[in-house]
């Protein structure tokens, strides 16, 4: 089974529907996972997105700053809309891609939007930061409790809102006390990764010694010149799919598009044996 998967925090799918169309025409993903869609299910522009070739659509919508959607040219079965932290937030979708036959385990795609955590990196002072840490702990517990770890064929993508490596931020020293790169967040994301021995696909293709970003603040007028970015968006696989992602691309040019998201898409091409 060969397919191209992309993940993008779109920061309002209705506001940026034209950009989704532009991206899809340029990169032709088979599976597109969107985060922060900012709309309830009934307001999701399903017809417009189906017109782009995505016959299979799953949405977990919510008013405000949440919501995820998975669009696919490949048939899938909706598995779960999991309330990971018990707050009633729409931050997760999982689907099982069809096409992996011959009795093999399915390929499950998890689409996740981790809370941003607010501005103050102190769980005692900032309930949003406490929520973020709790969310990551709940993710680790969930995946850690899954059986058949060596055989589970899973891909997890999304806006994790954590830049774990020193080279995932423009300045490790200056951002150690800035939400998204604090030791508390990094430690908990590392626990999530260890919970199922997740493989960081992006760093399989770009060495950990090199800078790699997927987000640039709107406050940076000339984001290319300053390049004060962070890698908040991720693609992970379980060990059973290690090596299946044969290429990876960060579509950084989309950050130049008019009225775009502050995140850019991350794309991986997969070749998976049935």
Cα(120)–Cα(37) distance, integer angstroms? 25
Task: Output phi, psi for 78, to 5 deg.
Answer: -70, 125
Residue 235 CB-half CA count within 13 A? 32
Number of domains forming the structure of the chain: 1
Confidence at 253, pLDDT banded by 50, 70, 90: very high
Confidence at 103, pLDDT banded by 50, 70, 90: low
- What average pLDDT does range 81-110 have in this prediction? 87
Statement: the pTM of the whole predicted model exceeds 0.95? yes
- For residue 158, the model assigns a pLDDT of 98
- For residue 64, the model assigns a pLDDT of 80
Paired sense of beta strands 154-159 and 107-113, if any:
parallel
Confidence at 269, pLDDT banded by 50, 70, 90: very high
- What average pLDDT does range 13-23 have in this prediction? 98
Cα(147)–Cα(16) distance, integer angstroms? 39
Residue 226 CB-half CA count within 13 A? 14
- For residue 63, the model assigns a pLDDT of 84
Structural domain that includes position 143: 2-271
Task: Annotate 229-251 with DSSP letters as a single string.
Answer: EE--EEEEE-GGGTT-EEEEEE-
For 180-222, write each residue's pLDDT tens digit: 999 999 999 999 999 999 999 999 999 999 999 999 999 988 9
Confidence at 61, pLDDT banded by 50, 70, 90: very high
- For residue 149, the model assigns a pLDDT of 85
- What average pLDDT does range 234-256 have in this prediction? 98
Tell me how far CA of residue 178 lies from CA of 51, 62, 205, 222, 245, in angstroms.
41, 27, 27, 21, 31
For 113-156, write each residue's pLDDT tens digit: 999 999 999 999 999 999 999 999 999 999 999 988 889 999 99
* Lowest mean pLDDT, pick from 69-78, 96-105, 219-228: 96-105
Query: Domain holding 106: CATH number?
Result: 3.60.10.10
Give 159's strand partners.
Answer: 113, 233
């Amino acid at each position: 089974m060969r397919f191209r998967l992309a993940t993008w925090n779109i920061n309002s799918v209705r506001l940026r529907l034209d950009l989704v169309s532009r991206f899809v025409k340029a990169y032709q993903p088979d599976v597109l996972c969107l985060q922060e869609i900012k709309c309830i299910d009934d307001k999701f522009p399903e017809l417009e997105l189906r017109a782009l070739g995505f016959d299979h659509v799953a949405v977990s919508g919510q008013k405000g700053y949440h919501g995820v959607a998975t669009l696919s040219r490949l048939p899938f079965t909706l598995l779960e809309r999991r309330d990971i932290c018990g707050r009633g937030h729409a931050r997760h979708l999982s689907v099982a891609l069809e096409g992996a036959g011959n009795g093999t385990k399915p390929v499950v795609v998890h689409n996740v939007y981790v809370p941003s955590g607010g501005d103050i990196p102190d769980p005692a002072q900032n309930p949003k930061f406490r929520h973020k840490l709790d969310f990551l702990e709940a993710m680790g517990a969930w995946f850690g409790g899954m059986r058949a770890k060596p055989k589970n064929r899973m891909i997890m993508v999304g806006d994790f809102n954590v830049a774990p490596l020193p080279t995932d931020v423009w300045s490790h020293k200056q951002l150690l006390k800035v939400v998204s790169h604090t030791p508390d967040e990094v430690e908990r994301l590392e626990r999530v990764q260890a919970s199922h021995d997740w493989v960081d696909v992006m760093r399989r293709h770009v060495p950990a010694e090199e800078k790699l970003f997927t987000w640039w603040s709107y406050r940076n007028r000339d984001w290319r010149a300053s390049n004060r970015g962070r890698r908040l968006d991720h693609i992970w696989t379980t060990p059973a799919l290690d090596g299946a992602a044969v290429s990876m691309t960060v579509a950084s040019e989309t950050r130049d598009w008019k009225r775009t998201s502050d995140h850019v898409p991350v794309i991986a091409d997969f070749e998976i044996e049935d």
